[in-house]
Structure 1
Amino acid sequence: MKKYLLSFALVLMSLTAFAQTAYEKAMTEKIAKLESCKSSEDFQTLANDFDRIGKKETTQWLPSYYAAFAYIQKGRVQMREGNMIELDIIAGQVEKYLDAAENAGQKNNAEIHLLRKMASSLKMMVNPQQRFMTDGAKAGEQLKIAEKLDPANPRIALIKAEDTYFTPEQYGGSKTKGIEMFKQALEKFNSYQPKSALDPNWGKGEAQYFISQATK
């Protein structure tokens, strides 16, 4: 009997290890695509891919997190193209996936609060003058929470640099100051270690890009 129990236990361990490996392989493949996506359609496809992984791995928070991030990137592409029509809908999708990520045991996760900040910023851009006191304020609150939870996080420094760089000078922004903040963010990226190979590690290339543009 002990022999059979041991064999059964080994089979279960093997199946668990295989499932983890399949999950990690799928996530690694999709995370790598974040760098190569260019269009809003690309990011939508990637969000759908993360959604499918999340439906299989209901105890994992990262698939929902990356689905939310893919939607944010989709919204940013549309914003750069001057297409503000769907930003509210996109931000709603981001919040839905971030709620799912929190429900997977991530109530006090700086990465999630940072994406909530970015989602509120997307909503604000639909009509900045009307929404600055509402969605803009929510974005600021979420950024403060994220920074309090993880002050060394380079992505927080990156988003603060973005805000400074793109805000008009009459409203307190500065491209010069923004570049200095991108440099500070890059220093943090150079020393920051993600908790695992699948944990958020995006943003360094963006900091490098803005710094390189300033030297041209």
Structure 2
Amino acid sequence: MTKLITVIAIFIFTLASAQEQQVPTGGQFEQGMGKAFGLWKEGTSSEASDLFERIAAAEPSKWLPNYYVALVNTTAAFGTKEKEQISLLLTKAQKALDVEMGKEQNNAELYVLQAMINTAWIVYDPMINGQKLSGPTMGLYAKAEAIAPNNPRVVFSKAEFEIGGAKFWGQDTKPMCMQIDKAIALFATFKPETAFAPSWGLDRALEAQKNCK
């Protein structure tokens, strides 16, 4: 099971690398967000997280800065094997996400990110967290799907998580692979609401599609 969950983690770890942002010029928020994405792209995730955190403090009405604090730290957690560091990163991610979840319970992107944090904890300790968090994680994807059934990240992430479980139990993955096909079609027409809104996932969905075949 550890190997299976690790495979899932490798898929999730590179999701953020596909987050393409067309950074607009303008106010301090846009400039700050653009700079933070630049730091993240350069591989300095800690500095990017710190900047996103400062932006979140200055712009409490905007959910995206804390979203990216959580996403940066979650993907960083998938990229390290040091248990203590993983715990610190995921704790920071959860703290940032909790702020936004406390404001808004109708945002599918937040539920997908919470599911990613849960998956990271499963990787951290599969024997303990696998049984404890697998059910709640599927519940998060169900909530996200109810809110935004045509969001490609919702469709893809849920299918990918289900594929991991299906492979572990020796079940047919064809239904999940069909959902990945659906997600790829949705990516073709999906338009983020703003320049900084989440847009990642297509590259991982295409790779998952190849593995399905």
What does residue 61 of structure 1 align with?
63
2:138 pairs with 124, 137, 140, which one?
140
| Contact 2:156 2:180 (8 Å CA) reproduced | yes
1:119 pairs with 117, 120, 125, which one?
117
Matched, 1:23 2:25: no
Identity among equivalent pairs (%): 21
User: Which consecutive residues of structure 1, in runs of 5 or more, have no partner in the other structure?
Assistant: 1-19
Matches within 5 A, 1:19-168: 21-31=27-37, 34=40, 36=41, 38=43, 42-78=44-80, 82-103=81-102, 105-167=103-165
| Contact 1:167 1:174 (8 Å CA) reproduced | no
1: distance between equivalents of 2:84 and 2:174? 31
What does residue 193 of structure 2 align with?
195
User: Which consecutive residues of structure 2, in runs of 5 or more, have no partner in the other structure?
Assistant: 1-25
| Contact 1:166 1:173 (8 Å CA) reproduced | no
CA RMSD of aligned residues (A): 2.8
Report deviation, 1:87. 3.0
Identify if the C-alpha distance between structure 1 residues 147 and 37 changes in structure 2 by more than 3 Å, giving closer, same or farther. farther
Report deviation, 1:43. 2.2
| Contact 2:32 2:51 (8 Å CA) reproduced | no
Q: Tell me the TM-score normalised to structure 1 length.
A: 0.74
Q: Tell me the TM-score normalised to structure 2 length.
A: 0.75
What does residue 22 of structure 2 align with?
none
Compare CA radii of gyration and give the structure with the larger one: 1
2: distance between equivalents of 1:86 and 1:137? 26
Report deviation, 1:115. 0.8
Report deviation, 1:154. 0.6
